[in-house]
């Protein structure tokens, strides 16, 4: 049975009543919510659990989907700082660009950004057991991508960019997970504790479903991206700062 | 965390303060209700050759008579009045905002090529460091700062900033961290033609303060941002550096980046960094600075604070958040994020 979505015009609304409305709707069984005229409302979908799709038309404020576990948010617009902050599970599909600290401390689910992201994308991302967060970016990223990264995957396709990333500090302090960037990356851009390794056929096979899902989601032909022309950046060791603060 | 936004109409067409009030209020969460403020350029066209001296008085007796006497010693007061304010339930009036339109005598000071500016600077430093119960918080020509301890919308309504029309506006919503929230500590900070709004902290404040104080400035407002206004006055006005070069001195590229520049540029940056080492600002910051000729926005070199730029025709916006720009201008044509340390400049087209 097709059920009409719950449509909310959020023009001028504060995020507190908005999030309350969303939670009540999800609790009452609503599975499809459309938010129109979104502009600057922070914390949308914070801590939200359940099986629901939220369509966001506009530019949501910072920390979109923080602590969220399960829902899918599709954003037709840009996002501000830290969408997917400490997200546990679920999806953020952002059709525009996003600000700094995207997917900050994310520990599960997927954050896909069609455009560019700011500084420190994927900072402190982590994985454990079955939790495996993925941040994928269609455009470029600024400095300190994957800073202090502890797990998961960051994928940067660099569409329309040459090179895909030209900012410094990639994987600064990385001690788990991997950063995969389209094309060759100048080693000088790697941060402390990061090293570049070959992107192999096995890596491609492993990441093909992610590349295909990203492209399908945003209507991009995946074929040009299904080769091994990527740089793979991983931790040089599991303790990049051993000896920096303590001596053995 | 603080919220900042600035806008310039490069054709000098003037806009009232109602839309920047909405933009700053959208970022209420970036502040704590302990400081907000606005500055606008072009608001006093009836006094084109007078310095508009805005003062917070604790009362209108001793401090004001002392300030009157200092001003009358150094120049002529063309007009003075209390700045109109309107009681707000959420804002306690701690000071009486007053304004003088002041013409300094230019023959009382030697050793300067801009005696009027240097006389006013001297007066501001003298009042702020010696007159109990008086604080000059705005001292430029045809511009004015309006600030208080309160939320953005309360401060805007307290001064009714929609009654002022300017071609440049900067606004700031404060979340005080290291120093107390008070009226004088609210942004924008202003000296002469320079106004500054700042999100972050200047961890090199001690070094920068010693540097500006050794050049005749006095830091009296118990907060780090004040030093940025004085650095811009020293480097920009007194040393005559263009704003891009001032930013290059305050937030220079890293040495390894300088090493890779073409030789001429490398030599220039090396000299700039060595000459202005004590002016280098460390710590997290996003800053917008205005003068009558334009605005410049920049962040620290590793981008520890947000900054977004929007453009539409002659309008240039610089803000902590994209949504704040879109509140002011729903039809904004382009939005982008400048790189760390990269100056974003909007100049008036004369």
In chain B, what's the furthest Cα-to-Cα distance? 61
Q: Is A189 on the interface with B (CB under 8 A)?
A: no
Contact assessment for residue B297 and residue B343, using Cβ atoms and an 8 Å cutoff: yes
> Averaged over B30-53, what is the pLDDT?
97
Q: Alpha-carbon distance B28 to A245, whole Å?
A: 38
Q: Is B225 left (phi over 0), alpha (psi -120 to 50) or beta?
A: alpha
Q: Is B255 on the interface with A (CB under 8 A)?
A: no
Contact A59 B326 (CB under 8 A): yes
CB neighbour burial string for B280-290, b if at least 16 within 10 angstroms, e if fewer: bbeebbbbbbb
What residue numbers bound the domain in which B323 lies?
3-43+142-347
For residue A78, CA distances in Å to A6, A55, A148 come to: 22, 13, 25
Q: Is A144 on the interface with B (CB under 8 A)?
A: yes
pLDDT tens digits, one per residue of B72-106: 999 999 999 999 999 999 999 999 999 999 999 99
Tell me whether residue B123 is in a domain. no
Tell me whether residue B316 is in a domain. yes
pLDDT tens digits, one per residue of B262-280: 999 999 999 999 999 999 9
Which tokens is A74 given? 């599709």
Q: Is B60 on the interface with A (CB under 8 A)?
A: no
Tell me whether residue B104 is in a domain. no
Which residue from A40, A78, A100 is facing B26, i.e. has the nearest CB?
Answer: A40
Q: Mutating which of B27, B28, B319, B322 best tests the A interface, going by the most A Cβ atoms within 10 A?
A: B322
Under DSSP, the state recorded for A74 is E
Interface pTM, i.e. ipTM: 0.94
Q: Based on the structure, what is the number of domains in chain B?
A: 1
Tell me whether residue B294 is in a domain. yes
User: Which residue from A minimizes the CA distance to B302?
Assistant: A143
Contact B26 A39 (CB under 8 A): yes
Q: What is the model's pLDDT at position A246?
A: 65
Q: What is the model's pLDDT at position B262?
A: 97
Asked whether the predicted pLDDT for residue B205 surpasses 60, the reply is: yes
pLDDT tens digits, one per residue of B109-165: 888 889 999 999 999 999 999 999 999 999 999 999 999 999 999 999 999 999 999
Q: What is the model's pLDDT at position B266?
A: 97
For residue A142, CA distances in Å to A107, A123, A137, B296, B339 come to: 21, 12, 11, 21, 8
Tell me whether residue B130 is in a domain. no
Helix crossing, B18-26 with B152-159: angle to 10°? Answer: 160
Contact B306 A99 (CB under 8 A): yes
Chain B residues touching A100 at Cβ < 8 A: 303, 306
Count the neighbouring beta carbons within 10 Å of the beta carbon of residue A80: 25
- How close A164 comes to chain B (CA, Å)? 15
HSE, CB side, 13 Å, CA atoms: give it for residue B5. Answer: 27
Q: Is A197 on the interface with B (CB under 8 A)?
A: no
Tell me whether residue B194 is in a domain. yes
**If we measure between CA atoms, which residue out of B260, B252, B264, B304 comes closest to residue A189?**
B260
Asked whether the predicted pLDDT for residue B16 surpasses 60, the reply is: yes
Asked whether the predicted pLDDT for residue B108 surpasses 80, the reply is: yes
Residue ranges and CATH numbers for the domains of chain A are 97-235 (2.160.20.60)
Q: Mutating which of A82, A99, A139, A140 best tests the B interface, going by the most B Cβ atoms within 10 A?
A: A99
Chain B residues touching A61 at Cβ < 8 A: 321, 323
By DSSP bridging, strand B96-104 and strand B75-82 are antiparallel
**pLDDT tens-digit profile, chain A (248 residues):** 567 899 999 999 999 999 999 999 999 999 999 999 999 999 999 999 999 999 999 999 999 999 999 999 999 999 999 999 999 999 999 999 999 999 999 999 999 999 999 999 999 999 999 999 999 999 999 999 999 999 999 999 999 999 999 999 999 999 999 999 999 999 999 999 999 999 999 999 999 999 999 999 999 999 999 999 999 999 998 777 777 766 65
Tell me whether residue B107 is in a domain. no
Q: CB under 8 Å to B125, separation ≥6 — which residues?
A: B216, B217, B218, B220
Q: CB under 8 Å to B74, separation ≥6 — which residues?
A: B104, B105, B108, B119, B122, B123
- How close A109 comes to chain B (CA, Å)? 25
Q: Alpha-carbon distance B118 to B114, whole Å?
A: 6
Active site residues of B: 2
Q: What is the model's pLDDT at position B179?
A: 82
Asked whether the predicted pLDDT for residue B333 surpasses 90, the reply is: no
User: Which residue from B minimizes the CA distance to A188?
Assistant: B256
Asked whether the predicted pLDDT for residue B209 surpasses 80, the reply is: yes
Tell me whether residue B310 is in a domain. yes
Size of interface A-B (CB pairs under 8 A): 50
Q: Mutating which of A119, A160, A187 best tests the B interface, going by the most B Cβ atoms within 10 A?
A: A119
Contact assessment for residue A212 and residue A112, using Cβ atoms and an 8 Å cutoff: no
Q: Is A61 on the interface with B (CB under 8 A)?
A: yes
Contacts for B228-234 with beta carbons within 8 Å, 24 or more apart? Answer: B228/B189, B228/B196, B228/B198, B228/B202, B228/B281, B228/B287, B228/B289, B229/B189, B229/B190, B229/B191, B229/B194, B229/B195, B229/B196, B230/B191, B231/B279, B231/B281, B232/B194, B232/B196, B232/B289, B233/B121, B233/B191, B233/B192, B233/B194, B234/B279
CATH number at B211 reads: 3.60.20.10
Q: Alpha-carbon distance B25 to A99, whole Å?
A: 20
- How close A47 comes to chain B (CA, Å)? 19
Q: Is A81 left (phi over 0), alpha (psi -120 to 50) or beta?
A: beta
Chain A residues touching B310 at Cβ < 8 A: none
pLDDT tens digits, one per residue of B291-305: 999 999 999 999 999
Under DSSP, the state recorded for B83 is P
């Amino acid at each position: 049975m097709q059920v009409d979505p719950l449509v909310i015009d959020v023009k001028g609304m504060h995020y507190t009543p908005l999030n309350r409305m969303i939670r009540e709707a999800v609790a009452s069984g609503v599975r499809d919510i459309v938010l129109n005229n979104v502009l600057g409302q922070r914390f949308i979908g914070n801590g939200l659990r359940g099986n629901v799709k939220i369509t966001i038309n506009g530019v949501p404020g910072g920390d979109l989907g923080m602590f969220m576990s399960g829902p899918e948010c599709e954003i037709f617009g840009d996002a501000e700082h830290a969408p997917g902050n400490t997200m546990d599970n679920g999806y953020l599909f952002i059709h525009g660009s996003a600000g700094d600290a995207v997917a900050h401390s994310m520990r599960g689910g997927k954050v896909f950004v069609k455009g560019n992201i700011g500084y420190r994308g994927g900072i402190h991302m982590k994985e454990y057991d079955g939790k495996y967060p993925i941040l994928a970016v269609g455009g470029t990223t600024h400095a300190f991508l994957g800073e202090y990264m502890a797990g998961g995957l960051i994928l940067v396709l660099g569409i329309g960019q040459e090179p895909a990333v030209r900012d410094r500090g990639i994987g600064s302090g990385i001690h788990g997970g991997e950063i995969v960037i389209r094309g060759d990356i100048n080693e000088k851009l790697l941060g402390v504790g990061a090293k570049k390794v070959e992107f192999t056929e096995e890596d491609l096979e492993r990441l093909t479903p992610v590349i295909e899902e990203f492209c399908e989601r945003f209507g991009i032909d995946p074929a040009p991206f299904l080769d091994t022309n990527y740089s793979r950046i991983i931790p040089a060791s599991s303790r990049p700062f051993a000896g920096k603060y303590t001596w053995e | 965390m603080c919220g900042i936004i600035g806008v310039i109409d490069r054709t000098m067409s003037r806009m009232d303060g109602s839309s920047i009030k909405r933009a700053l209020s959208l970022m209420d969460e970036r502040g704590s209700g302990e400081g907000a403020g606005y500055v606008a350029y072009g608001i006093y066209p009836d006094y084109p050759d007078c310095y508009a001296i805005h003062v917070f008085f604790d009362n209108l007796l001793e401090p004001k008579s002392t300030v009157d006497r200092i001003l009358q010693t150094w120049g002529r007061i063309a007009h003075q009045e209390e700045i109109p304010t309107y009681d707000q339930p959420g804002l306690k009036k701690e000071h009486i905002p007053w304004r003088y339109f002041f013409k300094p005598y230019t023959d009382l000071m030697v050793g300067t090529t801009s005696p009027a500016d240097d006389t006013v600077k001297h007066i501001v430093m003298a009042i702020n460091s010696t007159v109990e119960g008086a604080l000059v918080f705005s001292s430029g020509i045809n511009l004015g700062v309006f600030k208080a301890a309160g939320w953005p919308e309360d401060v805007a309504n307290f001064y009714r900033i929609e009654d002022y029309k300017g071609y440049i506006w900067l606004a700031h919503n404060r979340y005080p961290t290291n120093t107390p929230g008070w009226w004088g500590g609210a942004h924008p900070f202003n000296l002469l033609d320079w106004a500054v709004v700042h999100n972050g902290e200047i961890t090199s404040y001690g070094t920068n303060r010693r540097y500006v104080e050794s050049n005749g400035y006095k830091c009296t407002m118990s907060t780090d941002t004040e030093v940025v206004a004085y650095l811009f006055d020293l480097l920009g006005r007194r040393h005559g550096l263009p704003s891009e070069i001032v930013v290059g001195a305050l937030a220079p590229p890293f040495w390894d980046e300088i090493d890779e520049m073409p030789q001429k540029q490398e030599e220039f940056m090396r000299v700039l960094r060595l000459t202005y080492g004590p002016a280098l600002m460390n710590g997290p910051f996003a800053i917008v600075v205005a003068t009558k000729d334009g605005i410049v926005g920049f962040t620290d070199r590793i981008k520890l604070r947000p900054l977004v730029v929007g453009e539409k025709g002659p309008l240039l916006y610089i803000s902590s958040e994209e949504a704040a720009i879109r509140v002011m201008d729903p039809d904004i044509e382009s939005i982008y994020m400048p790189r760390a340390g990269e100056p974003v400049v909007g100049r008036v087209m004369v």
